[in-house]
A and B are shown apart, each in its own frame.
Chain A
Amino acid sequence: MVPDFSQDFFALFGLKRAYRIDAARLDQAYHELQGQVHPDRHAHLPETEKRLSMQWATQVNEAYRTLKKPLLRANYLLRLAGTDTDHESNTAMPPEFLMEQMEWREAVAEAREAGDHHELEKLMQRLEKHAGAIRDEIEVSLDTKKDYATAADAVRRLMFIEKLEHEIEDALEALESQE
């Protein structure tokens, strides 16, 4: 018997379906749910309950991760609204954005090759500022204007930026391992 996970993630945590969320309330609801379903709470019980508990705890972890991270949360909201960001096929981005991306990318590559720890950190901070502005755009499009096409566009741009941030993290990590 498979548990019924048809409830959406916002409902699971008792939250309103919106991009802007109360992070403290999400954390609290997450802890309370895991407090009920976590395998550690069912370790002394029969196999059936252990299995159910693992399925539930897995689902709650997945739901929490999705709502916790802004990019995943935005993607999830778009999916619930029937707008797929379709990140595999739909990569048509405005040329000026792509241009900007290339410049960022070059700056990261240069700093990495030079082993410039400081410069990488600086690039990261600038990117994070940029990402913050896009997240604000997403919030307005999703919560206020309900303009899903514009939101999907911003989500795609945010994906590019987060990918770049991961590359900087990898570069920083590689530098540290050499030290």
Chain B
Amino acid sequence: MALLQITEPGMSTAPHQHRLAVGIDLGTTNSLVATVRNGIAVVLSDGKGRSLLPSIVRYKADGSVDVGYAAQGAQSADPRNTIVSVKRFMGRGLKDVSHIESMPYDFLDAEGMVRLRTAAGVKSPVEVSAEILKSLRARAEASLGGELVGAVITVPAYFDDAQRQATKDAATLAGLNVLRLLNEPTAAAIAYGLDNSSEGVYAVFDLGGGTFDISILKLSRGVFEVLATNGDASLGGDDFDQRVYCWILDDAKIRFPSIEDTRHLLLKAREAKEMLTSHDEAPIHAALRTGEQVNLTLKIDTFADITKNLITKTLAPTRKALRDAGLTVDDIKGVVMVGGATRMPQVQRAVAEYFKQEPLTNLDPEKVVALGAAMQANVLAGNRAGADDWLLLDVIPLSLGLETMGGLTEKVIPRNSTIPIAKAQEFTTFKDGQTAMSFHVVQGERELVSDCRSLAKFELRGIPPMVAGAARIRVTFQVDADGLLSVSAREMTSGVEASIRVKPSYGLTDDEIAGMLKESIDNVGDDVQARNLREQQVEAQRLIEAVEAALAADGGLLRVEERTDIDEEIASLKKRIAGTDHRAIKAGIDSLNAATQDFAARRMDQGVKRALTGHKVIELKL
């Protein structure tokens, strides 16, 4: 809302006007952090000038943790404790992970999400990802010289609810305030679209280290509208490495490589793949622990041959996305390439052939997602300048539904619905006198529940006994702007209610996260009291700023006594900020929030009316 941006000079007591916010691309292979500095999005480098952070975490027996390049060097020597490509395990059970046979880890099949047993104890993929995020956060804070207001974290567009929730949990665990989970192709589109001030329908082809997304977006006058998205949450550069690795084993007649040799050969496979981006052949030399020597040459034709069906696998989702958007390839004005794996010439060729045009590669495919995320973070943090007047309308990638009789799925929200979205469906009882009903929330396109992803199960109890079919149970699905689902059920005749944030069966519980957070705080020796106080002070300051800006803009919507109430609440909160009691500040925040509820609602209504008035003015001019 443009009016919210106006702050009267001298009214704001903020220490600095520019709020520090970052965009983080939490990738399968590499991660990046970027920010907007003086109006320009830049990737932040580490002390040695390196912009990428390898998404590798090593746990050591003394409990210490190495992240990035330090861990990368140890992966062949200590593969069991050096976790690579952890993104593939996010929100996933053991049975969902492919190529498990060539992975060196000591897996534990915990409920919901797989766990890894390391030298430093059992770790969940959420904790491993949190280490990567912590490292990026530290890099950003060192580079920007202050605490971050928040971060936009990117996720593959095709990530399901469990994977999104796991990503958000990892950020929370890393002490980051998540401004938004943003789909990777959409982030790339921002970076591209704003650069080229484009109009029309574009396809974003995003092949990363472990995930593939295809998004079809319509760009018009600063609005990025995702028409459809599709993909494969376990297809990426890693799979090409895997193919080369298998080819090496086959050609060099290696039978049962040790986990160290496996990791070593996978690295060699990747090097060969990368070399083939600009060469016709790649030598592969490796000395195994068994004393065996590997001396091979991988020719580009052989490579194309053994990876052909991986490329074919990207085309089926592409066709589906186009069909869902109601378009054909002739409607696509441009194709944007994203992700390191799109550097492979045969991927570029396949895309060019399918879309009948050369894809756009003028922005670095490995950086474009982080740059777009930084731009969005800057806007979400409230640093919007006049030129940043864009709007993202994104969708959910997979249908959401409930299990009904016979193990069938009843779709409640179809895929490619624009978010946020809410949908209600009514159900009734099956037996006379039935007092409870259980719900099984699933995600996916298949008819059988067993073929979809199970997200959560919950029960509604206390339904008054009635004859079968008399009760009216309304189940409401709400998907927020992060693409995260919450479900509630309510018996309409009695008002009995149950609700759930879709988490327990596939994520960590809130208690688990709280426990881990506390542990990490204890570890760094931070004073919990001091931290709580600081957090509440910042929060209170932010609220006061927002309310004062709103009063300056729309104070006229208030009656005199309402205005007096709010002014008193602000004065009282300001006094509390100066104190040291974080609970008193929290109470003051709640109280000011309550006092401004009606005001906020009226301003929103006014905004809606203004949108239409503005619209009519345009109409008149035409």
Contact = CB atoms under 8 A, between A and B. Distances in A.
The answer to whether A and B interact is yes
Interface of A: 1, 3-4, 12-14, 25, 28-29, 31-49, 52-54, 56-58, 61-62, 64-65, 169, 172-173, 176-177, 179
A47 B539 CA distance: 11
Interface string B355-383: 00000000000000000000010011110
A40 B392 contact: yes
B380 A40 contact: yes
Given A3-B601, A177-B316, A179-B316, A43 B615 contact: no
A12 B353 CA distance: 44
A88 to B, nearest CB: 11
A52 B615 contact: no
B480 interface: yes
Contacts of A34: 223, 391, 393
Contact of A43 (B179, B320, B422): B179
B180 A40 contact: yes
Given A45-B546, A177-B316, A29 B480 contact: no
B481 A29 contact: no
A35 B546 contact: no
B600 A49 contact: yes
A33 B392 contact: no
B323 A169 contact: yes
Interface in B462-486: 478, 480-481
A39 B604 CA distance: 12
Interface of A is mostly: helix
A31 B221 contact: yes
15 contacts: A3-B604, A14-B616, A31-B220, A31-B223, A32-B611, A32-B614, A37-B607, A43-B180, A44-B546, A46-B543, A48-B597, A49-B600, A64-B418, A172-B323, A176-B320
A78 to B, nearest CB: 20
B320 A47 contact: no
Contacts of B379: 40
B319 A61 contact: no
Given A32-B615, A36-B1, A44 B391 contact: no
B543 A39 contact: no
Contacts of A52: 600-601, 604
Contacts of B605: 3-4
A29 B420 contact: no
Contacts of A58: 420-422, 478
Contacts of A61: 417-421
A3 B604 CA distance: 9
A44 B17 CA distance: 13
Nearest to A53: B604
B4 interface: yes
B349 interface: no
Q: How large, as a class, is the contact surface on chain B?
A: 35 or more
Contact of B610 (A36, A41, A53, A62): A36
A76 B344 CA distance: 50
A50 B593 CA distance: 12
Contacts of A45: 4, 382, 546
A58 B481 CA distance: 10
B600 A48 contact: yes
Contacts of B614: 32
Nearest to A2: B601
Contact of A36 (B19, B546, B601, B608): B608
Contacts of B420: 39, 54, 57-58, 61
A36 B323 CA distance: 31
B376 to A, nearest CB: 8
B598 interface: yes
Interface string B304-332: 00000000000010011001000000000
Contacts of B61: none
Interface string B1-31: 1001000000000000001000000000000
Contacts of A56: 604, 608
A169 B323 CA distance: 9
A29 B610 CA distance: 11
B260 to A, nearest CB: 39
Interface string B27-67: 00000000000000000000000000000000000000000
Nearest to B481: A39
Contacts of B481: 38-40, 54, 57
B578 interface: no
B615 A28 contact: yes
B12 to A, nearest CB: 13
A39 B391 CA distance: 10
B348 interface: no
